[in-house]
A = this chain, B = another copy of it.
Amino acid sequence: MLKYQKIAMDLEDYIEDNSLVRGDKLPILDDLMKEFEVSKSTITKALEILEVKGTIYQVRGSGIFVRGHRRKGYINLLSNQGFRQSLREFKVTSDLLELAVINPTKEAAHNLSIEMDEEVYYVKRLRKIQGQPLCVEESYFKKSVVAYLNEQIVSESIFKYLSEGLNLKIGFSDLFFHVGKLKKEEAEYLDLKENDPGLYKETIFHLANGEAFDFSKIIYNYEQSQFYIQANNYLP
């Protein structure tokens, strides 16, 4: 593990352990350098990561402060770590509806930039929160990248398996969404009525080398889901 990653994690733990909240001050740069016995740039790099993640903000001439937020019960839209993190106080479970090796739909093939005769793993899951349907998810994993999946892996954290088990390096993801009216079949999964509102989200996940490997479609139950994002305002 890289120094700056370790420092970033240690600082997150420090904030957690000391129950620091928005506006609370962290030690100054100089002290952090001494504490971790690294150069200024390394601390800066660690802080930058936490800044991008929305954990802290830095004010020149003043100090380093905890950002956090949190409205309870909101899902972090950008966390692909499933819902374990954002909703850890709630009970989230997952029903596996389907797991198979298939040829992709035209849509999936297009979003993964593959031919329609290349094989993919198709995973369909229904996620529940405190027993209520939270969302239906369909995922298409390139089989050339994700060579093997089984029921157990899928029922736990797929991404953890990919990065730790298969040693894949996840890079970036493109996320698209819109709001619409649920079709009858969709509504049934979510325990809602036809034409009720639904949030439709599509995500294309890429490896660090830029290759798309997972196309995912999720429909959220509007009664169970609220989202948050912590953004930074870079170049105007």
Contacts and interface: CB of A to CB of B under 8 A. Distances in A.
Contacts of A77: 229
A226 interface: yes
A170 interface: yes
Interface in A37-85: 41, 49, 52-54, 57, 59, 62, 65, 67, 69, 71, 74, 77-78, 80-81
Given A78-B229, A80-B233, A231-B172, A178 B222 contact: yes
Interface size class of A (residues with CB under 8 A): 35 or more
Contact of A230 (B9, B172, B178, B235): B172
A175 B74 CA distance: 11
Contact of A227 (B9, B170, B176, B225): B176
Given A9-B235, A197-B181, A23 B163 contact: no
A179 interface: yes
Nearest to A78: B231
Interface string A13-25: 0000000000100
Interface of A: 5, 8-9, 23, 41, 49, 52-54, 57, 59, 62, 65, 67, 69, 71, 74, 77-78, 80-81, 159-160, 163, 170-181, 196-199, 206, 208-210, 220, 222, 225-236
